[in-house]
Structure 1
Amino acid sequence: MDLSAVTAARWVERWECQQQRYAVDREERFTVIADVVEQATRGSRDPLLLDLGSGPGALAARLAGRLPGAEVVAVDADPLLLELGRAHYGGGARARLRHVRSLIGAPGWLDALGLDRPVDAAVSTTALHYLDRDTLAGVYRDLAERLAPGGVFVNGDHIRPDSPAIRDLAVDLGRRHAERNLAFTHEDWQSWWKGAAADPELAPYLTLHDTACHPPCADADLPVSTHVALLREAGFREAGTVWQYGDSRVLAALR
């Protein structure tokens, strides 16, 4: 049975609030990422875009709204989050927004997306930090192989500076910023999932959970120079920071 739109809207709203606890500048990140994608795809009438680790698909939906001619694929491993996204964001003017289940970094993960042409842009927010260095390097290589020449990869996440002393300053700035914006008043990750487990309408999707839904978080905490080096090694010609507040950062890499 499909989720009702009312139920999906309620749980997506709670998800968005919960995410604000961990990324107080999430909406600004979304805007920056969409700006980069719009600029990079300005010559294409129907660009193909990927949102990696999309959750319900807030960023994917914003990209679909910003670029009406685009085909946007929201990619996540969690069946509940994907179904919430389909029920809340799917259809209507966003009929070209698809939600696809795939575990990013697993063997053949891109094959599950049913792509029939090169990708123009791939994006991610607060999702790839759980990958260990080797898996992340593999994901960067996979993306470089699938992106069209001139394509872009944009990643918004907590990515630390190289200097430990500067990192400490950046983390402190981020903490102060979060406190001023009352970020810690939002419910946390565990609370959201506990609430979802108590909702009988969500039960059929929670039974689909397995070890591939939430892989162990490696928490590699790689510095920005390592991300840039891995991107260059993967085949991107340029990579660097386009926005930053504290240790919250948006990286862009050009194919």
Structure 2
Amino acid sequence: MANQWTSAAHALDYLRRADTIPHRTEGEAVLLEQVPKTVQRILDLGTGNGRLLSLLKLDRPQATCFALDFSPTMLQAARKTFAQDPQVTVIEHNFEQPLPDLGPFDAIVSSFAIHHVSHDRKRTLYQEIYDRLTPNGIFCNLEHVASPTPRLHERFMTAIGYRVEDEDPSNQLLDVETQLNWLRQIGFIDVDCYWKWLEMALLVGIKP
């Protein structure tokens, strides 16, 4: 499966379009509502330019944060974003490999990143996330998910300004219910899809 995220042009094109994706800020707002403002440690998987983590930090300035990504362009952008924040550590990491041992976290978040790995890896990654959360820790995954029909997929692509034939070849989309069931099987509680618009969905679970 081709993955274009090591390409500077691909990463920069995504950053250029990110703010124009319809309803994205709605999903981010719901995610922000779920993460307690008292959290002490946050892990951001696939941080990109640090957009989501920056939003989280606004009301959680006390939090120690780790931001993971593997795209050189994204890593450069994230390091620029957090250059003046000693509480944020940006780390190069490819999700195809097991998560590094960075200690326990009160919140683990991700935004449009996990759909780039295989379904088998998604499942094992969710287990690794569960293992790294503290009791009552929260996992919030604002994700690109599969549509139930080709017609709805085409509708989503049109809505975000893409043709179906221009879809990112590294996308490995999976339906919401399969992923929610995995989270429940792993042991997460209060698992649900907290927000959804076409192929954008917020999946949330709590570690008991």
Normalised TM-score (structure 2): 0.80
Looking at structure 2, the residues matched to 80 and 248 of structure 1 have their Cα atoms a distance apart, in angstroms, of 24
Question: In the alignment, is the contact (CA less than 8 A) between 1:156 and 1:250 conserved in 2?
Answer: yes
2:170 is aligned to 217
Note the residue ranges of structure 2 that are not aligned, 5 or more in a row: 1-10
Give the C-alpha shift of residue 75 in structure 1: 0.6
Give the C-alpha shift of residue 90 in structure 1: 2.3
Corresponding residue pairs, total: 194
1:142 is aligned to 128
The structure richer in helix per residue is 1
Give the C-alpha shift of residue 33 in structure 1: 1.4
- SS of 1:241's partner is strand
Give the C-alpha shift of residue 14 in structure 1: 6.6
Cα deviations by residue, 1:122-148 (Å, 9 ceiling, x for unpaired): 111111111111111110000111101
Label 1:238 to 1:105 Cα distance change in 2 as closer, same or farther (>3 A).
farther
Looking at structure 2, the residues matched to 234 and 99 of structure 1 have their Cα atoms a distance apart, in angstroms, of 28
Q: Which amino acid aligns with 2:128?
A: D
1:96 to 87, 94, 99: 87
Q: Which amino acid aligns with 1:238?
A: D
Aligned identity (percent) is 26
- SS of 2:35's partner is helix
- SS of 1:134's partner is helix
Looking at structure 2, the residues matched to 51 and 26 of structure 1 have their Cα atoms a distance apart, in angstroms, of 17
Looking at structure 2, the residues matched to 78 and 152 of structure 1 have their Cα atoms a distance apart, in angstroms, of 26
1:82 is aligned to 75
Range that drifts further, 24-33 or 149-158: 24-33
1:16 equivalent in alignment to 2:7: no
- SS of 2:182's partner is helix
Label 1:136 to 1:14 Cα distance change in 2 as closer, same or farther (>3 A).
closer
The structure richer in strand per residue is 2
1:246 is aligned to 198
Looking at structure 1, the residues matched to 50 and 81 of structure 2 have their Cα atoms a distance apart, in angstroms, of 9
What is the root-mean-square deviation of aligned Cα atoms in Å? 2.8
Looking at structure 1, the residues matched to 171 and 54 of structure 2 have their Cα atoms a distance apart, in angstroms, of 28
Q: Which amino acid aligns with 1:159?
A: V
1:54 to 47, 51, 71: 47
2:7 is aligned to none
Give the C-alpha shift of residue 171 in structure 1: 5.6
Give the C-alpha shift of residue 189 in structure 1: 9.8
Cα deviations by residue, 1:5-36 (Å, 9 ceiling, x for unpaired): xxxxxxx9975323346x43222222221211
Normalised TM-score (structure 1): 0.66
2:61 to 68, 78, 81: 68
Looking at structure 1, the residues matched to 72 and 199 of structure 2 have their Cα atoms a distance apart, in angstroms, of 30
What pairs up with 1:221-232 in 2 under 5 angstroms? 221-232=173-184
